[in-house]
Amino acid sequence: MKNIHLFLTSILMTVSLIFAGGCSKNVVSLPNTESPDFVSFSDKKIPTTWQTTNWVMDTTTGYDDLNSLKATANHVVVVTNKTFDSDINFIEFYLKGNGTVDFYVDGSIRKACPLTDSWVKHGFYFEKGSHTFKWELDGVSANLDAIHFKKETQLAVGTYYRGGIIAYLSNTNQHGIVAAPEDQSTGIQWYNGDYINTGTIGREMGAGKLNTVKIFQIQGTGDYAAKICKDLVLNGYDDWYLPSRDELNLLYQNRNAIGGFMSASVTPSSGYWSSSEDSRTTAWSQRFDTGTQESHYKNSTFDVRAIRTF
């Protein structure tokens, strides 16, 4: 099977904080002609900077017009520079084809979008600043159409906010838990080389932050699950921590809205570490294929996803 890489790189824009919930969103009305924030490919109106030798116009019916871009070779690169004066924080686009498209922001995978033989809209929130976007296709064909940039501001589980993706939101929308947009490790130990009772038995919501501090106080410097969360500085925030067992389960329950969990796509899943200790030699982890929470030896290697509160 060919790997056709669809890249949309170097898009410079002013955007506000918020990120995606799910791979696709409900269809909404879009303009039928091109505008400063919209590329429809209508009547072959492709900006010059988008044209490459590995793209051709497909004259079959597109999402919003009679034309779309179609990939004809591997490693296709499409480049445009775009600067917005308004608060743009969301990109949506339509794809059709065979295979699966992985969408990347700044080189990090955000969502896996399955392709079908009909046009499907996909949408993603992103953070304020300059970004590089990439579509990477594992399949035999792909069509790209109706790229639209806009502002969406309502907070919800799955939206980008204060450095990460909302995993939990209080009834008042004033407080919640934010998950880092990607994994901090795809295989690291819980302990720092020695089996030590850290006393981090808290499993409930809100316990992860204190657990992380105590683990570091007991285990010290080194390379282990809680330490990489404590040391994390991401998107302007430095108060990340390793989730407790219940907080980790919350990430599992909302894994599709949050996205990017590498272990979730593997069967059997290796799982993710929590900061909740079970005994001197074991700590709690959770599989992201079945949701099963298990106690494992601290020298086992599992994935890590950091969280923070607001």
- Stretch 214-238: mean pLDDT, rounded? 95
- Stretch 263-270: mean pLDDT, rounded? 77
Q: 23-27, 104-108, 127-131, 300-304: which range is least confident on average?
A: 23-27
- Stretch 240-249: mean pLDDT, rounded? 98
Per the prediction, the chain carries an average pLDDT of 77
- Stretch 286-295: mean pLDDT, rounded? 95
Domain spans of the chain? 3-150, 160-309
Q: Provide, rounded to the nearest whole percent, the portion of the chain with pLDDT above 90.
A: 38
pTM (whole model) above 0.85: no
- Stretch 163-180: mean pLDDT, rounded? 90
Contacts by residues 263-268 (CB-CB < 8 Å, ≥ 24 positions apart) = 263/183, 263/186, 263/287, 263/288, 263/289, 263/302, 263/303, 264/288, 264/289, 265/112
Question: Judging by beta carbons within 10 Å of its beta carbon (0-12, 13-18, 19+), is residue 159 exposed, middle or buried?
Answer: buried
At 179, the pLDDT band (50, 70, 90 cuts) reads very high
Q: Which residue has the higher pLDDT, 28 or 193?
A: 193
Instruction: Determine the pLDDT at residue 13.
Output: 27
pLDDT at 26 over 50: no
At 139, the pLDDT band (50, 70, 90 cuts) reads confident
First to last CA, the chain: 45
Domain 3-150 = CATH 2.60.120: yes
Q: Provide, rounded to the nearest whole percent, the portion of the chain with pLDDT above 70.
A: 70
Instruction: Determine the pLDDT at residue 5.
Output: 35
